[in-house]
């Protein structure tokens, strides 16, 4: 049975599960300089029946932040299980640690995007014992082999607008106390149309928060009741309204957690984002600590998406000991101690999206009214999920027609060290990201309004090659035909990229990015000049880097810091997959 057929059959169950778990069911790990993570020990509860004395285990996080290993306090776990987890679960490390301590099961969390979890499942989930995405939708889409068993919601969180308090007051959506007013999706559209609101958001085809928000936008702007239909996707007026709303996106991301971190690190530049309520809370904790304007949570009154954070066992015929270990850990996540930590981290565990432990001091500290947070379940007007085929079509329409077009300059290393496998890997990566048929497999295919520009470089940059829309064939042929020779000067390549950016009159029509790929340490004579030229642009354009082989991470991290961007590590694994991930950020 094909994925679409399976998805169509299972989405009804998914929709029912989301509705049910909205009536079911948040601490953040503190990481020290040596990479060790110790969960907080204060329970802060007003309920004396909470007998938990604090975590005794520890966790260790990888340098890239993509893997976290939790060890119980005993130091001798009964078993270890590995979970493919959404990146947003980094924020509930205390809940995980408590469950690890209580079950005596060690857990390895491998953080990834929703689409990656879907791919893990569809490919057989080799090496994983469980999956923990943000929404049941991604399990239903990816579990074509029917591997997932014992699926349960761990908590819920709505997708909201987080808008800096001063901005929300200026928009007329809040008063000086932080109390927000009723705001509809049409109100948001009006502010985008007038130029008064821009916001950051994850890609609808790469992240659950983006996909859920997009479906909620469409449903709310259509009006009426019931889920989206194919007819709605063919409604030109509705599509025009949604496209106009998405023109407000000024930064895209493939990760909800990275988006939150970007906003927190640059609050003067980024004052609005679409993200999980729980991540808005985590952002506000840091912003307030740093003396910055908090983000106020805005709940669209005419349609909102709620994520049910399901955990499911992956049955690959492992030993009975592994299954029992999963069951012990999963059960420990449902205890009062774990639920307290979920709510302290900004998740909801009560009926209909309420709080189970609203009187707990730390839960009160998370769900602050002055941050616009509303714990009344009536504020959550949850949209109904469309049919499977309609969701698939909706995401395709988003990618090819409705999202804000992207303008991407690919600055690619063709130095002598790239001969052979290096060049082959890069060409394969470019094809994975830009060939319409191949890119469609990852839902990153170029849309009609996209612009992609290739600048091969070695000691000097080559002539640029531009591709408009889906007509990327010539660009990809030149990428394959260009020989690898010479040295490496990434800074001259960047200077050439600056000349290929959209001019000021066009800039607002695109989400713009530079993607730099290199396999070696660069000459540095032009470094300061390249940095000065970037600053002279006076524009916030991310420069994402892909490093592999002997690339210098220090050089690339400096570029990422300069441009509020990110470095992707392609030194192990499939470069094509890395290119796909990078494209998901634009």
Per-position pLDDT tens, the chain of length 586: 444 443 344 444 444 444 434 433 433 333 433 333 444 333 333 343 445 555 679 999 998 888 999 999 999 999 999 999 998 999 999 999 999 999 999 999 999 888 889 889 999 999 999 999 999 988 988 899 999 999 999 999 999 999 999 999 999 999 999 999 999 999 999 999 999 999 999 999 989 999 999 999 999 999 988 999 999 999 999 999 999 999 999 999 988 999 999 999 999 999 999 999 999 999 999 999 999 999 999 999 999 999 999 999 999 999 999 999 999 999 999 999 999 999 999 999 999 899 999 999 999 999 999 999 999 988 999 999 887 778 889 999 999 999 999 999 999 999 999 999 889 999 999 999 999 999 998 889 999 999 999 999 999 999 999 999 999 999 999 999 999 999 999 999 999 999 999 998 898 999 999 999 999 999 999 999 999 999 999 999 999 999 988 899 999 999 999 999 999 998 877 788 888 889 889 8
H-run or E-run covering 82: strand 79-86
What does the DSSP 8-state code read for residue 74?
T
Residue 263 tokens, joined: 């906003």
Residues 427, 416 share a domain:
yes
Q: Give the CA angle between residues 46, 48, 54 to the nearest 5°.
A: 90
Among candidate residues 472, 474, 510, 516, the one with its CA nearest the CA of residue 493: 516
Burial 323-339 (b: 16+ CB within 10 A, else e): bebbebbbebbbbbbbb
Cα 104 to Cα 107: distance, rounded to the nearest angstrom: 10
In a domain, 129, yes or no: yes
Q: Which domain holds residue 288?
A: 157-306+378-396
Q: What are phi and psi of 577, to 5 degrees?
A: -70, -35
Can you give the pLDDT at residue 24?
Answer: 38
Count of residues making up the chain: 586
H-run or E-run covering 454: strand 451-457
Residues 232, 174 share a domain:
yes
Residues 545, 560 share a domain:
yes
In a domain, 25, yes or no: no
Tell me the DSSP string of 480-544. Answer: HHSPP-S---HHHHHHHHHTTSPPHHHHTTSEEEEEEEESSPPP-TTHHHHHHHHHHHTS---EE
Residues 436, 467 share a domain:
yes
Can you give the pLDDT at residue 53?
Answer: 58
Residues 185, 100 share a domain:
no
Cα 220 to Cα 504: distance, rounded to the nearest angstrom: 33
Residues 355, 280 share a domain:
no
Where are the alpha helices (H) located in 105-161, listed in sequence order?
Answer: 114-122, 136-142
Residue 426 tokens, joined: 């890069």
In a domain, 42, yes or no: no
Find out whether 402 and 241 touch, Cβ atoms under 8 Å.
no
Residues 566, 499 share a domain:
yes
* Cα 161 to Cα 67, 185, 403, distances in angstroms: 28, 10, 18
Residue 382 half-sphere exposure toward CB, CA atoms < 13 A = 20
Find out whether 41 and 54 touch, Cβ atoms under 8 Å.
yes
Burial class (CB in 10 A: 0-12, 13-18, 19+), 437: exposed
β-pairing verdict for 543-547 and 567-569: parallel
Cα 330 to Cα 226: distance, rounded to the nearest angstrom: 33
Residues 387, 417 share a domain:
no
Q: Tell me, what CATH number does 421's domain have?
A: 3.40.50.410
The number of folded domains in the chain is 3
Find out whether 108 and 133 touch, Cβ atoms under 8 Å.
no
Q: pTM higher than 0.75 for the full model?
A: yes
In a domain, 27, yes or no: no
Q: Looking only at Cα atoms, what is the longest distance across the chain?
A: 71
Cα 304 to Cα 381: distance, rounded to the nearest angstrom: 6
Among candidate residues 536, 578, 547, 344, the one with its CA nearest the CA of residue 442: 578
Find out whether 459 and 496 touch, Cβ atoms under 8 Å.
no
């Amino acid at each position: 049975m094909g994925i679409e057929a399976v998805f169509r059959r299972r989405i009804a169950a998914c929709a029912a599960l989301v509705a049910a778990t909205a009536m079911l069911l948040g601490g953040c790990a503190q990481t020290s300089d040596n990479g060790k993570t110790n969960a907080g020990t204060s329970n802060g509860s007003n309920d004396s029946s909470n007998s938990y004395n604090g975590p005794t285990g520890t966790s260790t996080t990888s340098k890239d932040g993509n893997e976290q290993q939790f060890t119980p306090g005993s130091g001798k776990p009964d078993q270890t299980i590995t979970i493919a987890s959404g990146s947003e679960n980094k924020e509930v490390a205390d809940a995980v640690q408590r469950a690890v301590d209580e079950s005596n099961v060690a857990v390895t969390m491998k953080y990834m995007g929703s689409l990656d979890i879907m791919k893990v499942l569809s490919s057989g989930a080799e090496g994983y014992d469980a999956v923990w995405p943000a929404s049941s939708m991604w399990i239903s889409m990816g579990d074509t082999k029917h591997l997932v068993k014992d699926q349960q919601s761990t908590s819920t969180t709505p997708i909201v607008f987080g808008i800096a308090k001063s901005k929300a007051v200026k928009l007329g959506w809040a008063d000086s106390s932080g109390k927000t007013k009723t705001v509809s999706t049409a109100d948001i559209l009006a502010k985008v149309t007038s130029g008064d609101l821009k916001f950051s958001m994850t890609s609808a085809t790469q992240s659950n928060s983006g996909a859920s928000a997009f479906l909620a936008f469409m449903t709310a702007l259509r009006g009426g009741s019931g889920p989206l239909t194919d007819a709605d996707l063919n409604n030109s007026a509705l599509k025009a309204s949604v496209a106009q709303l998405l023109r407000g996106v000024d930064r895209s991301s493939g990760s909800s957690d990275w988006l939150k971190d970007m906003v927190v690190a640059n609050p003067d530049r980024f004052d609005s984002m679409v993200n999980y309520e729980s991540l808005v809370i985590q952002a506000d904790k840091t912003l307030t600590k740093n003396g910055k304007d908090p983000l106020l949570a805005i709940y669209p009154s005419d349609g909102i998406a709620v994520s049910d954070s399901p955990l499911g066992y992956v049955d690959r015929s492992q030993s009975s000991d592994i299954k029992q270990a999963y069951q012990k850990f999963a059960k420990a996540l449902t205890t009062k101690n774990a639920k307290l930590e979920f709510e302290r981290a900004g998740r909801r565990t009560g009926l209909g999206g309420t709080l189970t432990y609203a009187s707990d001091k730390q839960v009160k500290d998370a769900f602050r009214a002055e941050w616009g947070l509303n714990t009344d379940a009536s504020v959550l007007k949850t949209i109904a999920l469309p049919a499977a085929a309609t969701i698939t079509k909706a995401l395709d329409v988003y990618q090819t027609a409705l999202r804000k077009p992207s303008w991407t300059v690919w600055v690619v290393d063709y130095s002598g060290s790239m001969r052979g496998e290096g060049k082959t890997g890069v060409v394969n990566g470019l094809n994975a990201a830009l060939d319409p048929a191949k890119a469609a497999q990852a839902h990153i295919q170029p849309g009609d309004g996209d612009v992609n520009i290739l600048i091969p470089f070695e000691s000097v940059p080559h002539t640029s090659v531009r591709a408009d829309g889906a007509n990327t064939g010539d660009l990809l042929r030149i990428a394959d035909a260009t020989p690898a020779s010479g040295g490496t000067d990434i800074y001259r390549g960047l200077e050439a990229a600056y000349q290929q950016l959209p001019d000021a009159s066009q800039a607002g029509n695109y989400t713009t990015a530079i993607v730099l790929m290199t396999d070696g340490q660069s000459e540095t004579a032009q470094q300061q000049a390249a940095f000065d030229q970037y600053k002279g642009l006076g524009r916030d354009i991310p420069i994402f880097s892909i490093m592999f082989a002997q690339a210098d991470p220090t050089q690339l991290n400096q570029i990422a810091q300069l441009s509020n961007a990110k470095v992707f590590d392609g030194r192990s694994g499939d470069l094509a997959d890395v290119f796909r991930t990078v494209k998901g950020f634009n």
